């Protein structure tokens, strides 16, 4: 220091940004680049929501589940429920910023629940009097309906059975049609929709049917074996009609 010089002390604030580090002084701002690695975030989990410590200088955070990047966020929390498999999932957080090496967290284990995240598929099928049929999916009655030759179902569905809601016996030469089981897993993709194989029909006329009485119905599917050894289905519900058994008058 020169004789007579006056020592002036100033306080400066060092701040991180996306491009490096800069300091602010009373005279203005000077910028310089500092290369290096970002600090590692420290993640924790509460259910399917993962949170982590903020990393100085980070502009975004990549979320990895099972080794695959599933999200990029700017906050320090994320809901990863849609990306979890049932059971244990290894999750890590990677802090990123231009000009810096990534800050990679330790992996934590997040438990995925047993809920299956379903998508939907639309199936095409042409059935006469389609609105008269009740739809069973994988053995369970549903509220799904065939409309305009199409029906939309969860993409996990494998078997479909349609049964007529028979409340009136057919008149004259009219008939009731029962169908075999439909295998949705063999449906052929056609654009964004799927064509199902036409189920085997069985036509039943008035003389082939009888009413279901007290103590007989189960409100579930009933099976009928045709003369050709084909299995078709009906609604086994009191007050509805079922096929007569062999020898039944």
Residues 98-142: pLDDT tens digits? 989 999 999 999 998 755 556 889 999 988 888 889 999 999 999
Mean pLDDT rounded to a whole number for the chain: 83
pLDDT of 4 over the 60 cut: no
Asked if 211 contacts 177 with a C-beta cutoff of 8 angstroms, the reply is no
pLDDT band at 35 (very low <50, low <70, confident <90, very high): low
- Per-residue confidence (pLDDT) for residue 114, from 0 to 100: 56
What is the C-alpha separation between 229 and 40, in angstroms, rounded?
68
Q: Torsions phi, psi of 120, nearest 5?
A: -125, 150
Window from 90-99, 176-185, 210-219 with minimum mean pLDDT = 210-219
pLDDT of 16 over the 90 cut: no
pLDDT of 15 over the 60 cut: no
Task: Return the bridge partners of 95, or none.
Answer: 61, 103
Distances (CA, A) of 55 to 34, 144, 217: 16, 50, 66
Residues 79-89 as b or e (16 or more Cβ within 10 Å = b):
ebeebbeeeeb
């Amino acid at each position: 220091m020169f004789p007579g010089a006056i020592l002036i002390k100033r306080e400066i604030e060092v701040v991180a940004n996306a491009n490096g580090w800069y300091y602010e002084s009373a005279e203005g701002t000077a910028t310089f680049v500092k290369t290096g690695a970002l600090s590692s975030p420290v993640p924790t989990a509460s259910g399917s929501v993962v949170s982590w410590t903020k990393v100085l200088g980070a502009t975004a955070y990549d979320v990895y589940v099972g080794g695959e990047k599933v999200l990029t966020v700017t906050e320090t929390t994320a809901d990863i429920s849609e990306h979890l498999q049932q059971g244990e999932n290894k999750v890590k957080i990677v802090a990123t910023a231009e000009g810096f090496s990534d800050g990679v967290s330790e992996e934590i284990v997040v438990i995925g629940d047993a809920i299956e995240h379903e998508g939907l598929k639309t199936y095409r099928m042409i059935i006469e009097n389609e609105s008269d049929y009740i739809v069973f999916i994988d053995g369970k009655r549903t509220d799904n309906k065939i409309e305009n030759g199409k029906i939309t179902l969860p993409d996990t569905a494998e078997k479909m059975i349609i049964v007529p809601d028979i409340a009136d016996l057919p008149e004259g030469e009219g008939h009731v049609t029962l169908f075999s089981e439909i295998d949705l897993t063999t449906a052929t993709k056609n654009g964004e929709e799927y064509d199902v194989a036409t189920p085997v029909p069985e036509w039943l006329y008035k003389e082939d049917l009888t009413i279901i009485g007290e103590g007989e119905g189960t409100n579930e599917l009933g099976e009928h074996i045709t003369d050709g050894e084909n299995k078709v289905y009906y609604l086994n519900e009191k007050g509805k009609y079922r096929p007569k058994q062999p020898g039944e008058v």
